[in-house]
Structure 1
Amino acid sequence: MNPTPPPLTPAEDPRWLRRFAPIWIGQVFSLFGSGLVHFSLIWWLTQTTGSAVVLATASLVGFLPQVVLGPFAGALVDRWNRRRVMMLSDSGIALATLGLVLLFALGLAQPWHVYLILFLRSLGGAFHWPALQASTTLLVPERHLARVAGANQALNGLINIAAPPVGALLLDVLPLQSVLAIDIVTALIAVGLLGLVQIPQPKRTDTQTTLTPRVVFQDVHEGLRYLVGWPGMLAILLMATLINFLLNPAFALLPLLVTRHFHGGALHLGWLESGYGIGVVLGGVILSIWGGFRRKLWTSMSGLFLLGTSAIGMGLLPSSAYPLALGLMFGLGVANPITNGPLFALVQSRVAPEIQGRVFTVIHSLAAAMTPVGMLIAGPVAEWLGLQTWYIIGGAGCVLMSIIALSWPLTANLETQSTPHMVSADSSA
Structure 2
Amino acid sequence: MPPALRALASRNYRIYFAGQLVSLAGTWMQQIAMVWLAYRLTGSALVLGVVGFASQIPILVLSPFGGVLIDRFDRRRLLMLTQALSMVQALLLAWLVWQGVATPTHLIALAFGLGCINALDVPARQAIVVQLVDDKGDLPNAIALNSFMMHATRFVGPALAGWVVATAGEALCFLFNAASYLAVLLALAAIRLPATTRRGPAAPPLQALREGVRYTAGHRHIRASLLLIASLSLLATPYTVLMPLFAKEIFGGDARLYGLLMGTAGCGALGGAVLLALRSDTAGLGALVGRMAPLVGLALAVFALSPSLWLSVPALLVLGFAILLCVAGSNTLIQTAVDNDYRGRVMALFTMAFLGLAPLGSFAVGSLAHAFGVRATLVACGLASCAAGLAYRRGQRARAG
TM-score under structure 1 length normalisation: 0.86
CA distance in 1, matches of 2:68, 2:185: 22
Instruction: Specify the SS of the correspondent of 1:253.
Output: helix
1:58 aligned to which of 47, 51, 66: 51
- In structure 2, give the amino acid aligned to 1:255: P
Counterparts of 1:119-198 in structure 2, within 5 Å, are 119-140=112-133, 141-198=135-192
Match of 1:403 in 2: 390
- Alignment check: 8 A CA contact 1:74 1:130 kept: yes
Q: Cα offset for 1:134?
A: 1.4
Distance 1:172 1:403, change over 3 A: closer
Match of 1:78 in 2: 71
The alignment partner of 1:59 has SS state of helix
Deviation of the 1:241 alpha carbon: 2.5
Cα distance in structure 2, aligned partners of 1:15 and 1:331: 28
Distance 1:194 1:263, change over 3 A: same
In 2, are the aligned partners of 1:316 and 1:388 still within 8 Å (CA)? Answer: yes
CA contact (8 A) 1:156 1:280 kept: no
Closer, same or farther in 2 for the Cα pair 1:78/1:201, shift >3 Å?
Answer: farther
Matched, 1:371 2:358: yes
Deviation at 1:19, TM superposition (A): 1.6
How far the C-alpha of 1:162 sits from its partner, in A, is 0.9
Offset, 1:70? 0.4
**SS at structure 2 position matched to 1:107:** coil
Unaligned segments of structure 1, at least 5 residues? 1-13, 209-213, 417-429
The question of whether the paired residues in 2 share the 8 Å contact of 1:82 and 1:199 is answered with no
For the residue of structure 1 that corresponds to 2:374, the secondary structure is coil
Deviation, structure 1 residue 393: 2.0
1:41 to 11, 34, 41: 34
Asked which structure has the greater CA Rg, the reply is: 1
After superposition, the Cα gap between the structure-2 partners of 1:268 and 1:22, relative to the gap in structure 1 and judged at 3 Å, is: same
- Report the Cα offset of residue 368 of structure 1: 5.0
Equivalent pairs: percent with the same residue? 24
Counterpart-to-counterpart distance in 2, 1:19 and 1:288: 19
Q: Distance in 2 between matches of 1:201 and 1:218?
A: 27
Q: Is the 8 A contact 1:204 1:354 kept in 2?
A: no
TM-superposition CA deviations, 1:22-53 (whole Å, max 9, x none): 11111111111111111111111111211010
| Deviation sequence 1:100-159 (CA, Å, 0-9, x none) | 222222222111111122122222222122222211112223322222222122212211
Shift of 1:382: 0.8
Equivalent residue, structure 2, for 1:275: 264
For these two proteins, the number of residue pairs brought into alignment is 395
Contact in 2 for aligned 1:56/1:378 (Cα 8 Å): yes
Letter in 2 for 1:338: L
Q: Which amino acid aligns with 1:284?
A: A
Report the equivalent of 1:246.
Answer: 235
Match of 2:283 in 1: 294
Equivalent residue number for residue 29 of structure 1: 22
Higher helix share: 2
Distance in 1 (CA, whole Å) between partners of 2:239 and 2:145 is 26
Is 1:353 aligned to 2:347, yes or no? no
Q: Which amino acid aligns with 2:343?
A: Q
Deviation at 1:201, TM superposition (A): 6.8
TM-score scaled to structure 2, two decimals? 0.91
* Rounded Cα–Cα distance in structure 1 between residues aligned with 2:67 and 2:137: 25
SS at match of 2:236: helix
Runs ≥4 residues deviating over 6 A: none
Contact 2:222–2:334 (CA<8 Å) still a contact in 1? no
Q: CA RMSD in A?
A: 2.4
The range that moved more, 142-151 or 55-64, is 142-151
Whole-angstrom CA distance in 2 between matches of 1:48 and 1:103: 13
Residue 109 of structure 1 aligns to a residue whose secondary structure is coil
Instruction: Choose from 219, 224, 227 the match for 2:208.
Output: 219
Partner of residue 308, structure 1: 297
Task: After TM superposition, give the deviation of residue 226 of structure 1 in Å.
Answer: 0.6
Tell me if structure 2 keeps the 8 A contact 1:287–1:337.
Answer: no
CA deviations on 1:307-358 (whole Å, 9 max, x unpaired) are 222111012112xx11211111111122123212222112112212232111
2:12 match: 19
Give the superposition deviation at 1:270.
1.0
2:382 and 2:97 map into 1 onto residues whose CA distance is: 38
Of the three residues 228, 231, 242, the one matched with 2:217 is 228
Residues in 1 aligned to 2:88 and 2:378: alpha-carbon distance in whole angstroms: 36
Deviation at 1:414, TM superposition (A): 4.5
Give the 3-state SS of the residue equivalent to 2:190 in structure 1: coil
Query: 1:361 offset after TM fit, Å?
Result: 0.7
